[in-house]
Amino acid sequence: MIYKIKIQDDEIFAYSMGRIRALENLLLDKEKVERMLSSSDPNIFTSVLNETTFTDDLSLISRPEDFQKVLNSHLKRTKKFILKITPPSSHKDLSFLWLKYDVQNAKVLLKARLEKKEIRDNYLSGLGNVSKGKLKKYISNNEIEEETSEQEKENVFFKFIDRAKETKEPEEIDFALDKAYFGLLSEYSKLSYYQVIKDLIKIWIDLYNIKTFIRAKILEKDKKFLKKVLTPHGSFDLKFFAKLLSLGLEKLPGEFKDSPYGKIVEETIDYYSKNNSLSILDKLIYDFEMSFLKEENKVSLGIAPVIGYMLAKENEVRVLRIIMIGKLRRIPREEIEKYIGILY
């Protein structure tokens, strides 16, 4: 069931704003990133993160390879914190933020089911709207536990899982659930009172379609493939992307120059032409999202800074993972810096 989101008075987030504004000062900044990048001390991560909200999670580290546990734990704690400081009436409004983790878990479980493998809980995210146990049980045998709420039982997400179960290839599972994800986000957008939610979801859909199209174009895929993988809920329709299939890669930036995404396409194609790689694209996408959220965060009250803080934390985790993995693999500093991008 997709629920109608009630109109909320922005003032109900006044308490939330006070808590979040205080914590924003503890977010990762350029100075902390610089210290981590420039130091050869293996304890630098612990030292820097002790100055942030990661302090309570650092006890999970007994060796460098345990760092992922800290990141996962911190995101769970951040979600719990946000749900604690925001009015219960707003939790449905915020649930779109965690839908991607349900999709991620469903992909892992459906692919394991296809290969007749058992998946341990630690391979699944604990950040979704649907519990790992319920999702696992449903994908295994279509059984929904008795204590599951009526809202969860009617959740259209389960219906999309049923469709994905019919596929026989891992790649097809990804396509099916990605389309399901963006289709559900589109429904959230239509029913939401908050313009920031509408705008953010539109950005996510547009950037997914652009990213997917560029990859498909490089792989010389056809219109039939585009129809299968692109979602129809964004600013650009299938006809627009199909027309671009006949153009050379160097022509693509010109087709997006009048859109907000022109710089992303231009820099992606330029990087690809020089490096035969699209590795920079994800960084450019995160930069665009962070720039949007930083502008929205200038609003003194409302739901926007709450959303911004959660997504800033996800970006913070992404940056820490890039630096940590880069250090462990002895990747040159300039290569690591290339993928860090804008901080909140």
**pLDDT tens track for 267-317:** 999 999 999 999 999 999 999 999 999 998 887 678 999 999 999 999 999
Residue 28 predicted with pLDDT over 50: yes
Residue 178, pLDDT score: 93
Distance of alpha carbon 116 from alpha carbon 109, whole angstroms: 10
Does residue 2 form part of some domain? no
222 is written with which tokens?
A: 């056809």
**Would 48 be classed as within a structural domain?**
yes
Run of H or E including 134: helix 132-141
> What confidence score (pLDDT) does residue 65 get?
65
pLDDT at 1 over 60: no
At residue 156 the predicted structure's pLDDT band, cuts being 50, 70 and 90, is: low
Task: Assign 7 a pLDDT band (cuts: 50, 70, 90).
Answer: very low
Q: Residue 195 domain-assigned?
A: yes
pLDDT tens by residue, 179-189: 989 999 999 99
* pLDDT at res. 75: 95
Most confident of 115-129, 155-169, 278-292, 296-310: 278-292
- Number of domains composing the chain: 1
Per the domain annotation, does 344 fall within a domain? no
Note whether residue 1 is domain-resident.
no
pLDDT (0 to 100) of residue 146: 46
Asked if residue 221 belongs to a domain, the reply is yes
Q: Which domain holds residue 88?
A: 10-338
Which pairs from 335-340 meet CB under 8 Å and 24+ separation? Answer: 336/37, 337/37, 338/280, 338/283, 339/279, 339/280, 339/282, 339/283, 340/33, 340/283
As a whole-number percent, the residues of the chain with pLDDT over 70 amount to: 91
Give the CA distances from residue 284 to residues 113, 208, 266, 290, 338, in Å, rounded to whole numbers and listed in that order.
34, 12, 11, 10, 10
Does 3 fall in a domain? no
Percent of the chain surpassing pLDDT 90: 59
In a domain, 214, yes or no: yes
